[in-house]
Amino acid sequence: MTPRAKRRNWHKGLLIGLGAFVLSTVGIQASDMANGISGKLMGSAVTSSGPCNEHEVLLRFGAYALCIDSYEASPAHTCPYRSATGDSATVSNVETPACVPVSQPGQEPWRFVSYTEATQLCARAGKRLPTAQEWYRVAVGQADTESCVLDATSPALTGSANCVSPLGVHDLVGNVWEWMGDTVSDGMIEGRHVPMSGYVELVDDGGVVLKTSNQPVPAFGDDYAWVQHEGVRGMLRGGFYTSGSDGGVFAQNMSVALDFAAAGVGFRCVRDVQ
């Protein structure tokens, strides 16, 4: 799953920024309606208020609201392994009932975690994995990814990079891939086929790729989509610490099995609220 290395184009941040500004503006206008309940493009956000806890951000969508973790998941102090250095560490943590994922700055992100393990861990904390659409609506306004951890030999501590979405959520881009709650079956998601692997050329309102190209597409940050059309696959988003310009808001990997776990794979959780 290691992305191909290449140099970032100087205009990547500018072009993504222009597109994101338009989308964000529409979303903000929509969320002004119905007392802050958003329309289709974006949710309104309030940091650490109302039903959300510290290090969570409140998002209001058309018919529901949720709290998304501000930071990538890391093991709590009740876990046997605070640093997930391999599959066995995650297995030991999962086997410990008191071990839960937390959203805190300055921690090692939880890695070597599969889709099923991430789902189980979020549920243990009374949360769940975000959908691709929920994740995208938080990430889409992030124009500058130069500060995100995309050209490193290892991930950074949570929140240590200046990689923050306009809604105050850290490290959506880079550092570690993040599991989505969605799955892809035989190359289909929500009743439609996804294209072949390639550079992202067009996405839907959830940021899921609709069209790919053989050449980098600056309007989509030169981001890449990996797709496997056989079997049930998970979805990872954002890229990881060695993605280079392949990683970003539009980067997605739909080629991995649900039991896939690796050094560059982590997760974050969301919590439904009334």
pLDDT of residue 6: 38
Position 194 confidence tier, pLDDT thresholds 50, 70, 90: very high
Kindly list the structural domains of the chain, giving each domain's residue range(s) and its CATH number in brackets, ordered by start: 12-273 (3.90.1580)
Residues 6+ apart with CB under 8 A from 103: 55, 56, 69, 70, 71, 72, 73, 74, 268, 269
Task: Average the pLDDT over 227-236 and give the result.
Answer: 97
Position 262 confidence tier, pLDDT thresholds 50, 70, 90: very high
pLDDT of residue 256: 97
Q: Strand pairing partners for 170?
A: 164
pLDDT of residue 49: 52
pLDDT of residue 4: 39
Low-confidence winner among 31-40, 138-147, 172-181 (lowest mean pLDDT) = 31-40
* Predicted confidence (pLDDT) at residue 112 exceeds the cutoff of 70: yes
Position 143 confidence tier, pLDDT thresholds 50, 70, 90: confident
Element (H, E) at 21: helix 12-31
Q: pLDDT: is 2 or 176 the higher one?
A: 176
Residues 6+ apart with CB under 8 A from 79: 93, 96, 98, 99, 100
Task: Tell me, yes or no, if the pTM score tops 0.85.
Answer: no
